[in-house]
Structure 1
Amino acid sequence: MKNTIDRIQSFYQKQYKLCYIQSFNLVRCENEIGILTDNLMVTLSALPLVPEGEKLIVTFEDVKDLRIGSFQGAFRLDIRIQDLSADQIENINFQVKEAEYDAFSFVCRCFDWVRTY
């Protein structure tokens, strides 16, 4: 549990400065046992939104119950991640919600991120 809390906090620290949405892509993938899963890739950056700028690319794997609101304007996202692993729901470990504008919400199996310069 502590490792998960540390992981979420580490994400929050990275997202603090790179919090403006640049792209939002849902990608259907076939996993190692031949089952189709939906992965969501969200690219965040600082303003101004320029192709060569620093980015935070976040990948959420095995996304379910995706709800999408509006993305109009270059607004600051406040992504909140809640650990659901103690609930022992198969392939659902995290609940993710954009808290400020309710731009999106979903549950997923795992998430990872890469910071580019």
Structure 2
Amino acid sequence: MKHTADRIQSFYQKQYKLCYIQSFNLVRCEHEAGMLTDNLIITLSSLPLDQDGPKLIITFEDVKDLKIGSFQGAFRLDIKIQDISTDQLEDINFRVREQEYEAFAFVCRCFEWVKTY
């Protein structure tokens, strides 16, 4: 649990300055032979949105129950990630939601991020 809390906190620190949405892509992948999963890839950057500027690329794996709101304008995302692994839901460990504008919400198995320069 502590490791997961540290990972989430580390994500928040990275997302603090790179928090404006540049892209939001749902990608269907074959996780295992014949097993399809939906992965959500969100790219964040700073303002002004610059193709060559630093980015934070977040991949949420095995997304379920995706709800999408409005993405009007270049607004600052406030992404909250909650560890729900103790709820013992099969292959669901995190609840993710954008809090400020309710732009999206979902549950997923895991998430990774990479910062580009």
- Is the TM-score greater than 0.5? yes
1:75 and 1:113 mapped to 2: Cα distance?
20
How many correspondences in the alignment?
117
1:79 and 1:27 mapped to 2: Cα distance?
20
Query: Could you tell me how far 1:56 is from its partner in structure 2?
Result: 0.1
Please give the root-mean-square deviation of Cα atoms over the aligned residues, in Å. Answer: 0.6
The CA deviation string for residues 55-109 of structure 1, in whole angstroms up to 9 with x for no partner, is 0000000000000000010000000000000011001000000000000000000
AA in 1 matched with 2:35: I
1:34 and 1:14 mapped to 2: Cα distance?
35
Aligned counterpart, 1:91: 91
Extract unaligned runs of 5+ from structure 1. none
| TM-score, L = length of structure 2 | 0.99
Aligned counterpart, 1:39: 39
1:38 and 1:29 mapped to 2: Cα distance?
6
Identical positions, percent? 78
Query: Could you tell me how far 1:32 is from its partner in structure 2?
Result: 2.5
| TM-score, L = length of structure 1 | 0.99
2:115 aligned with 1:115: yes
1:76 and 1:39 mapped to 2: Cα distance?
22
Stretches (4+) displaced over 6 A: none
Extract unaligned runs of 5+ from structure 2. none
Aligned counterpart, 1:49: 49
